[in-house]
Amino acid sequence: MFAAYAARIDRDQPLNGLELGERPAPEQRPGWTTVNVRAASLNHHDLWSLRGVGLAEDKLPMILGCDAAGIDENGNEVVLHSVIGQSGHGVGPEEPRSILTERYQGTFAEQVSVPAWNVLPKPKELSFEEAACLPTAWLTAYRMLFTNAGVRPGDSVLVQGAGGGVATAAIVLGKAAGLRVFATSRDEAKRKRALELGAVEALESGARLPQRVDAVIETVGAATWSHSVKSLRPGGTVVISGATSGDRPSHAELTRIFFLELKVVGSTMGTKDELEDLLAFCAATGVRPVVDEVLPLDRAREGFERLESGDQFGKIVLTTG
């Protein structure tokens, strides 16, 4: 079957390790099911995998891709939850929890195999392309906002780095949930798009907010960390799920954190139940993922190049035709 896969690890030039070509179809495994992929979306996780973060050399070649929607063996339209072994379903007790592409072949292929427990029905209201955007970036944003930040309608939230998949999802979900959403970006066009999606104000990175917020959604890392902490009201929460600009900020802001009793919460992906809730939320409210570009799988390299450049706004989706 045709696939986009990591053939080599290159920490400095990750796309040097990306190959497009034929790979073996999934083998049958007890408790697992094979899904014919219709659409799959890119995440920064895929670029990090090509750098060797979370992907060991002895696992190569590895088909990339965490997210997918498609048709299962019984002809049902489905969405995949990409955290394998979260409940022990389909894997042995000696196999740790992992995300697709860390230990198991991913979704940038014509077929993918996952534990049957990891398959959820796709709401008829969502297209395959829309549904394929949800299991990583949108699920991460959903958990950051509603589980780990614990915000409620009427609360205020700062979303750093408008344009990225998680940040875009947080703006749209926050607006739909009745939050007052502020967003930042270095790019004027991305700030304009953030306003169109429902942010009440979009500012340049590092700019002073008109008010301190209840929570900050942080995926940028070192470049925005100090601003995130300074933007919180006393007792507020910063939730961090990534560090695309680096994980070692020059100012940790520890004095401000303890003096104002701020909370710093780490967040990774989400549960199957949260994905089910997110799918239902999108179906019921009309909220839809923001799709930057849809490309056929054989043009996956273009999608990776766009993701690496940071020019995208929303999700890049690959389709199998």
Element housing 119 (H / E): strand 119-121
Q: Which of 57, 226, 37 is nearest to 128 (CA)?
A: 37
- Cβ atoms of 162 and 194 within 8 Å: the answer is yes
Q: Name the pairing type of β-strands 315-319 and 291-296.
A: parallel
Residue with tokens 């940028």: 220
Q: What is the pTM of this model?
A: 0.92
Weakest-pLDDT range from 95-99, 128-132, 188-192, 197-201: 95-99
**Band (204; pLDDT cuts 50, 70, 90):** very high
Least confident of 35-44, 88-97, 131-140: 88-97
Residue 86 is predicted with a pLDDT of 66
The stretch 201-225 carries a mean pLDDT of 95
Identify whether the C-beta of residue 44 lies closer than 8 Å to the C-beta of residue 50. no
Report the chain's mean pLDDT, rounded to a whole number: 94
Q: What is the pLDDT of residue 289?
A: 94
In this prediction, residue 95 carries a pLDDT of 78
For every residue of 143-167, DSSP letters joined together read: HIIIIIS---TT-EEEE-SBTBHHH
Confidence at 9, pLDDT banded by 50, 70, 90: very high
Q: Looking at residues 293-316, what average pLDDT do you find?
A: 94
* Mean pLDDT computed over 165-178: 95
Dist. CA 39–CA 110, nearest whole Å: 9
Is the distance from CB of 226 to CB of 251 less than 8 angstroms? yes
Determine which helix (DSSP H) or strand (DSSP E) holds 114, and give its type and residue range: strand 111-115
Residue pair 272/120 in contact by the 8 Å Cβ criterion: yes
pLDDT in tens, 251-285: 899 999 999 999 999 998 999 999 999 999 999 99
List the domains of the chain with CATH numbers: 2-133+289-319 (3.90.180.10), 136-266 (3.40.50.720)
